[in-house]
Structure 1
Amino acid sequence: MLRSKTILVLVLTVSLVMGMFSFGFAAQKEFVAIATGGTGGTYYPLGGALAQLLSNYVEGLIVTAQTGNASIANCNLIGRGQIETAFSQANTTYWSYTATGILKDAQPITNLRGIASLYPETIHIIATKASGIKTVEDLRGKKVGVGAPNSGTAADAEIILNAHGLTFDDIKPDFLSFAEVAQRLIDGQIDAGFTTAGYPTSSVINIATKRDIVLVPISEEKMKELVEKIPYYGATVIPAGIYKGVDEPVPALATPALWICDAKLSPSLVYKMTKALWEHRDVLEKVHAKGKDITLETALDGMGIPLHPGAELYYKEVGLIK
């Protein structure tokens, strides 16, 4: 009987010790979130894939991707300490950090740090053929989805309109997410919409399968003017055949998509995340066509804010920074 009680005590003691060890291991887990964008854009699927990649290849790390209004809103989330990392356009990230450009009246968000430049985001201006819109000037007086509030898309829309002598007062603006822009165009409730995302993007594919569309081009003159004025813009072309009914290449503007973070994140953690991204980037290529554009050679393109020390250390190790 005594022997049985002794064995029972030993078993309970071992169980208690193992439980304490298990609790200790659980306590070592780190949790990080990535603020992405709407479900109809490119940020969301790539953000989900990146979260899974990091959770799989960085020991003790659990990463989740969250939908959001993207760019400016994401920078604000980091500024308020409400999220650890985010995707954001290069132009709006720089304006948020420096309180310049369209954010000149805001407070600078000085805790923004860069991890990587990912891929070029293209500004799509989608109109229904029935609207008769063929140029940016034709948007005057029309119902236009200009992106979600505090999004990079809304910033792009305002800049492009201004370059063509228009403001939001000259159109009937609707602040809508990518998915909402798509649905309103399909339903005939708006005439046109802006979507800044890596092509092909699901929301535009959705519109083109249900309505006859045109992609409104940026003229060569305005393209040159905007690229010279705003260094984080570049000229690009949306290839023919990417979307149903778009049979000719369409001149457009693009800006890099950045992965950014809070300066407070530990250098060790950011180093591990940066290393995991570049050692397993092929995972992203399987999720979205833009994954192939995520390359180490372009990892610093359009990086207008300071790199996080952890990311900087990795780039020095691989020779990208001397």
Structure 2
Amino acid sequence: MAGELNRRTFVKAAGIAGLAGLSGDVLAQQQRLTWFAGGTGGTYFPLSNQFKQVVEQNTDFTLQVQSTGASVENVGGLAQGQADFALIQNDIAFFAYNGTGIEEFQGNAVESLRGVATLYPETIHVVTLAGSGIETLEDLEGATINTGDLGSGTQVNALQILESAGIEQGDFTEQNTGFSQAADQLRNGDIDAAFLVGGWPVGAIEELATTNDIALVEISGDARESIKGEAQWFADDAIPSGTYSGVDEEVQTIAVQAMIATTEDAEADTVQAVTEAIFSNLDQISIKQQFIGRDSALDGMSIPLHPGAREVFGPATTSPANETENNETAGGTTTPG
């Protein structure tokens, strides 16, 4: 499967469409930037479009927001110069920068990758339909499971979690699509469960819950401790009761951290202007606003901070595994979220 990801995702070329409807005079005054987001059924895409509005209203830049397969593909877009900014998970950023963790990055470190800001917890959702008989992670053995888009951070997390629960890839049937398609598969009975990673509430799950009785599988107890012991970037999280129709009790789970990334080639003035525009106008952001702020923008920063972002936030703290490099470029240490 990892080889399949490598072929189809990490080196995947993403076409960049031009912006239409702008006059020559406006284009002469504005610089277009490309921003890789994620699938339209998740959180990355609508949040990126809110960032687009803020940046375009407060700077001379225009943003082209592109729907993608999310984290791993987005790293590839940054590495290949197809994207100026991208949303990725902090664990995928750590893997990419250090050339470790998953096969896509083994011996293929993206050392040009730089952090801009961390944003909010990306909650692991394991979704099934009520009455499916799937109540624990162990019940997923033998099931047909959508683990997310090929090469996405969702798929990486899903396979890590299943393996930690003792379920190898040969122990279940894997399907790979984006969030919206996964919800359709559940609705149609084509799969037994789906992993979705995103800040709650995830739109695709909200929509599914309006047409079907859903259930969320807990990640708790010994299983959660085992997962966190094997992957330090996971943190405890919970989905509040009432987040989704019909789910009336809090669901224990885990989370990673969403972040904005760029590369060392990005101009410091550009990164500073885009970052300042976003964090000075958070009152214009409605998605995940309660989690996004200057005081938490370096929490879980797992790669070196871009100098332009450092002008906005000050020096970053980073993971112990990155200590030497990051002390030279950003200063300090912590553990990714």
Distance 1:268 1:292 in 2: 27
Contact 2:294 2:313 in 1 (8 A): no
Percent of pairs with identical residues:
34
Asked if 1:74 is matched to 2:105, the reply is no
Distance 2:210 2:57 in 1: 36
Distance 2:69 2:83 in 1: 13
What is the aligned counterpart of 2:304 among 300, 306, 309? 306
Distance 2:232 2:54 in 1: 32
- What TM-score does the superposition give when structure 1 sets the normalisation length? 0.87
Kindly provide the CA deviation profile for residues 90-137 of structure 1, in whole angstroms up to 9, marking residues without a partner as x. 101110111112245351111111111011100000011232111111
* Correspondence 1:260-271 to 2 at 5 A: 260-271=261-272
Gaps of 5+ in 2: 1-22, 316-329, 333-337
Q: Secondary structure at the match of 1:101?
A: coil
Per the alignment, residue 12 of structure 1 pairs with: none
Per the alignment, residue 19 of structure 1 pairs with: none
CA RMSD of aligned residues (A): 1.9
Kindly provide the CA deviation profile for residues 110-166 of structure 1, in whole angstroms up to 9, marking residues without a partner as x. 111111101110000001123211111111111111000110000010000000111
Per the alignment, residue 127 of structure 2 pairs with: 126
Per the alignment, residue 160 of structure 2 pairs with: 159
Per the alignment, residue 83 of structure 1 pairs with: 83
- What TM-score does the superposition give when structure 2 sets the normalisation length? 0.84
Distance 2:144 2:65 in 1: 32
Q: How many residues align?
A: 295
Kindly provide the CA deviation profile for residues 67-105 of structure 1, in whole angstroms up to 9, marking residues without a partner as x. 110011111111111111100011011101111122453
Distance 2:242 2:50 in 1: 26
Q: Secondary structure at the match of 1:40?
A: coil
Per the alignment, residue 180 of structure 2 pairs with: 179
Per the alignment, residue 229 of structure 2 pairs with: 228
Q: Secondary structure at the match of 2:247?
A: coil
Kindly provide the CA deviation profile for residues 190-209 of structure 1, in whole angstroms up to 9, marking residues without a partner as x. 11000000001101111111
Distance 1:316 1:219 in 2: 36
Contact 1:127 1:214 in 2 (8 A): yes
Asked if 1:238 is matched to 2:236, the reply is no
* Correspondence 1:286-297 to 2 at 5 A: 288=287, 290-297=288-295
Equivalent position amino acid for 1:310 in 2:
G
Per the alignment, residue 248 of structure 1 pairs with: 249
Distance 1:224 1:142 in 2: 23
Q: Secondary structure at the match of 1:242?
A: coil
Gaps of 5+ in 1: 1-21
Q: Secondary structure at the match of 2:259?
A: strand
Distance 2:117 2:53 in 1: 17
Decide which structure has the larger Cα Rg and report it: 1
Structure in which a larger fraction of residues adopt helix: 1
Contact 1:52 1:64 in 2 (8 A): no
Equivalent position amino acid for 2:267 in 1:
S
Q: Secondary structure at the match of 1:114?
A: strand
Q: How far is 1:221 from its partner?
A: 1.5
Equivalent position amino acid for 2:258 in 1:
A
Q: Secondary structure at the match of 1:293?
A: coil
Equivalent position amino acid for 2:83 in 1:
I
Contact 1:148 1:154 in 2 (8 A): yes
Distance 1:34 1:293 in 2: 21
